[in-house]
Amino acid sequence: MRHLLDTTDLSLQEIDEMIALAMDIIEHKEKYAHYCQGKKLATLFFEPSTRTRLSFTAAMYELGGHVLGFDDAGSSSATKGESVEDTVRMAGCYADIIAMRHPLEGAPRVGAYRSAVPIINAGDGGHAHPTQTLTDLLTIYREKGTFDNLTIGLCGDLKFGRTVHSLIKAMCRYKNVRFALIAPKELQVPDYIISDVLEPSGCKYAQVETMEAVMPDLDVLYMTRIQRERFFSEEEYLKHKDAFILDKKKLWNAKQDLTIMHPLPRVNEISTDVDDDPRAKYFVQALNGKYIRMALIIKLLEWGGMM
Ligand code: CP
């Protein structure tokens, strides 16, 4: 049985297979309409979500399966003191696969320890969000046709933004990928991303404080929200809250085939005047999330011998 706890749980070949399956699902939706008939997905969301939970739900319905779960820890027995491990073990009695979001880093790994069914990390604190990364990879692949030779600008809260950490881990495994890490010094990527991920990979990267400095070089611009819920004080959050706002004017010298991405939700980071720009792909990206989660559910059930 396999879980998906971090992006690096998947080999490059498995990611390729997942992307190929998602592409086939997009082309031939009807072929997969009964693929998960009789199967159940449990969504255990201890932290708020719109896209991740709804796209998992839509994914399982479109595969002909069923969904159960909770979207608020307050309505679960966690309020009575039940551990993550026991909650996951229980959900495994009622479902064939589990997608779990939790505010504590490592909680899905703890849950996976005794789980009888595959666990998918749907976001754990500031650590990782591997299904967002698969979503991002599918988007990059559909827009660029490759993962190699790309310059990717990551902009905003690179310290607490788990989607950024997971995307760097995934993209630095491809050839000749370069990163522009655009953030104020206080919100730059954690040291371990530099020492354990970027440096060993040999990927080129630059840490800069404005997007204007790198805009003409970028193939992908990945905007992120300042993660208010992870700051230690409201004062700190307010200091950074509007650090970066992408608007039409800032795109004047960007490439014509730039891909603008954002895991969403956005607050102020992308002005709505960018939404109609053909380079804005963040809503397509959210749709891609459904297709890649369909592919992931199929693969994990297959790898677990449950299909
Ligand atoms: N991108 C993302 O994880 O969105 P939600 O928090 O709405 O699930």
Q: What is the pLDDT of residues 265-285, one digit of tens each?
A: 998 899 999 999 999 999 999
Which residue carries 């004062």 as its tokens?
A: 235
Nearest atom in ligand 1 to 55's CA: 8
pLDDT one-digit tens code per residue, 23-60: 999 999 999 999 999 999 999 999 999 999 999 999 99
What is the strand order of the sheet 151-155 is part of? 204-208, 178-182, 151-155, 220-223, 259-261
pLDDT one-digit tens code per residue, 99-141: 999 999 999 999 999 899 999 999 998 888 999 999 999 999 9
pLDDT for res 105:
94
Q: What separation, in Å, do the N-terminal and C-terminal C-alpha atoms of the chain show?
A: 12
Residue nearest to atom 1 of ligand 1 (CA): 263
Nearest atom in ligand 1 to 123's CA: 3
Burial class (CB in 10 A: 0-12, 13-18, 19+), 4: buried
Distance 264 CA to ligand 1 centre (A): 6
Tokens of 259: 């891909």
pLDDT one-digit tens code per residue, 198-246: 999 999 999 999 999 899 999 999 999 987 766 667 887 677 787 899 9
pLDDT for res 234:
80
Distance 99 CA to ligand 1 centre (A): 13
Distance 202 CA to ligand 1 centre (A): 30
194 pLDDT band (50/70/90 cuts)?
very high
Number of neighbours of residue 285 by Cβ within 10 angstroms? 25
Residue 18 and residue 20: Cα distance in Å, rounded? Answer: 5
pLDDT one-digit tens code per residue, 170-181: 999 999 999 999
Please give all residues whose beta carbon lies within 6 A of any atom in ligand 1, as ranges. Answer: 49-52, 123, 132, 263-265
Tokens of 215: 């805009």
Which residue carries 């954002």 as its tokens?
A: 262
Q: Are strands 97-102 and 40-45 parallel, antiparallel or unpaired?
A: parallel
Whether residue 93 contacts residue 250, with contact meaning beta carbons closer than 8 Å, is answered with no
- Smallest CA-to-CA distance from 124 within 261, 7, 289 is with 7
Residue 44 and residue 87: Cα distance in Å, rounded? Answer: 9
pLDDT for res 230:
67
List beta partners, residue 99: 43, 120
What is the strand order of the sheet 40-45 is part of? 66-70, 40-45, 97-102, 119-124
Burial letters for 259-273: b for 16+ Cβ neighbours within 10 Å, e otherwise?
A: bbbbbbebeebbeee
